[in-house]
Amino acid sequence: MDKKKGLSMGTILVLSLAAGTIILTLIFLSAISGSDFHWMSGREAEPTPTQVTPPPEWDNAPTVSPEESRREATESEPVRARDPVRITLSFAGDITVPKLMQDTMMINDHEYNFMPAFEGVTGVFSDADLSVATLETLITDRNPYGMYNAPSALLETLREAGIHHLNLATEHMLDLGFEGLDITKSEVNRLGLEYSGYLASRDTDGITSVNGVRIAVLSYTYGLSDEGRVRTGKSEPADIPIFSVQKVLDDIRTARAQGADLVIVLPHWGMKNVATVTDGMRETARQMAECGADLIIGAHSNVVSEAKFIETTRADGRTYETLVCYSLGALLMDARNAENAAGIILSVELEYDPETRQSRIVRCHPVPLYIYQDRINDRRTWRILNVENAEQLGNVSETVQAGAAEALERVRAVTEEIER
């Protein structure tokens, strides 16, 4: 009898046992190899990332968001150098409005309009980031006003004309005692103007910021008037900045230590109606420049005086250039002679380098002024003429034009060296 074709039951059983053994072996190998074991299916298997179990002490570690990760990465990068900053400054001289001048600008018993006097120079201040003038009068409500006491309408006009900062440090600052000075300071603050030259109850460190440049304005008076000394017991109170070389040098160093990038010193010095610069003033200016003053802008004499650049080497071993104007003359006063009638508004453009912390003057232009008498509504008054303004010159008499030409010569004679 023929045998049946196919596998016997014994062969099938053996093959089944062999296959099972292979499968069990593969399962065992997979278990002991972990997740790094891969089946091969005609191509090389792709590796999977290794899983790491963090140590127990990481359990409470803070979670860092993607935004924080990007910020940390940015902060760790080198800081880019900041570009130099340009600022424009304007400086004007003394502002005095004696009672005779006030009366010509009075509308009624309680109202005054000082703008006719200042309208000729409003455009000069308009482009300045910081404009500074010396207020040689008090501002109180003690009507009738006096020689060195004026209504607050004057401050409103100065603000409208473009002045930002007023130097209060003059010999007349205590002519009405501390009460009068406190009222003046309050009026200045009320109208949004800055001030320097009076330290009592000051809320800041005397440093203002302009386009990110920190500027210290330090103001001093050579002393007090006889009236001021009588009212204060002939003393020199600590919060009144009486000028002394050592005090100024100490204040310059303090301002630098407090972070001032630029230091401006406003000394009320010299002699009335005298343009001569003494050797003592020159030496004091040199010491201030060497100590860290970048601009020294003087007042008090009511006549224009010499202006120049001083080059010094400071404590850091680097060379610096300081602009010194010993007197800008008056911005407004009841000018009685040709010397008093000439004044200056000094326009200065500075470039400050945040990396080196040095500044340089890239443009310096003295704008010549002429104070003259005019008539409004059949009353005599005073005006300030911008001598460079052809339109203004064309609207005044030949006599005023001649006076303006003389004022121009005086200004050019003392400022030729600083023009750039």
Query: Rounded mean pLDDT of 304-309?
Result: 98
Domain that holds residue 312: 85-418
- Looking at residue 205, what is its pLDDT? 54
- Looking at residue 61, what is its pLDDT? 34
Query: Rounded mean pLDDT of 4-17?
Result: 49
Does some domain include residue 335?
yes
Does some domain include residue 90?
yes
Does some domain include residue 63?
no
- CB of 129 closer than 8 Å to CB of 211: yes
> Is 11 a residue whose pLDDT tops 80?
no
Does some domain include residue 14?
no
Q: How many domains does the chain have?
A: 1
> Is 56 a residue whose pLDDT tops 60?
no
> Is 77 a residue whose pLDDT tops 50?
no
- Looking at residue 200, what is its pLDDT? 56
- Which of 215, 141, 195, 135 lies closest to 171 in space, CA to CA? 135
Q: Which residue has the higher pLDDT, 22 or 270?
A: 270
Does some domain include residue 52?
no
Query: Rounded mean pLDDT of 43-48?
Result: 35
- Looking at residue 158, what is its pLDDT? 98
Does some domain include residue 53?
no
Instruction: Spell out the SS3 assignment of 32-79.
Output: HHHHHCCCCCCCCCCCCCCCCCCCHHHCCCCCCCHHHHHHHHHHHCCC
Does some domain include residue 139?
yes
- Looking at residue 236, what is its pLDDT? 59
Structure confidence by residue, pLDDT tens digits, 321-331: 999 999 999 99
The mean pLDDT value of the chain amounts to 83
Least confident of 70-74, 272-276, 300-304, 401-405: 70-74
Query: Rounded mean pLDDT of 98-121?
Result: 90
Find tokens 């001048």 and name the residue. Answer: 101
Q: Which residue has the higher pLDDT, 288 or 20?
A: 288
Structure confidence by residue, pLDDT tens digits, 277-306: 999 999 999 999 999 999 999 999 999 999
- Looking at residue 379, what is its pLDDT? 77
H helical segments located in 209-294: 226-231, 245-257, 279-291
- Looking at residue 82, what is its pLDDT? 81
DSSP β-bridge partners for residue 251: none
> Is 159 a residue whose pLDDT tops 50?
yes
Query: Rounded mean pLDDT of 104-132?
Result: 92
Query: Rounded mean pLDDT of 87-96?
Result: 97
- CB of 378 closer than 8 Å to CB of 370: no
Least confident of 51-65, 163-177, 236-250, 368-382: 51-65
- Looking at residue 40, what is its pLDDT? 29
| Whether the model pTM is above 0.75 | yes
- CB of 288 closer than 8 Å to CB of 248: yes
- Looking at residue 30, what is its pLDDT? 44
> Is 137 a residue whose pLDDT tops 80?
yes
Q: Which residue has the higher pLDDT, 400 or 38?
A: 400
CATH number of residue 94's parent domain: 3.60.21.10
- Looking at residue 380, what is its pLDDT? 83
Strands 165-167 and 194-196: parallel
Does some domain include residue 45?
no
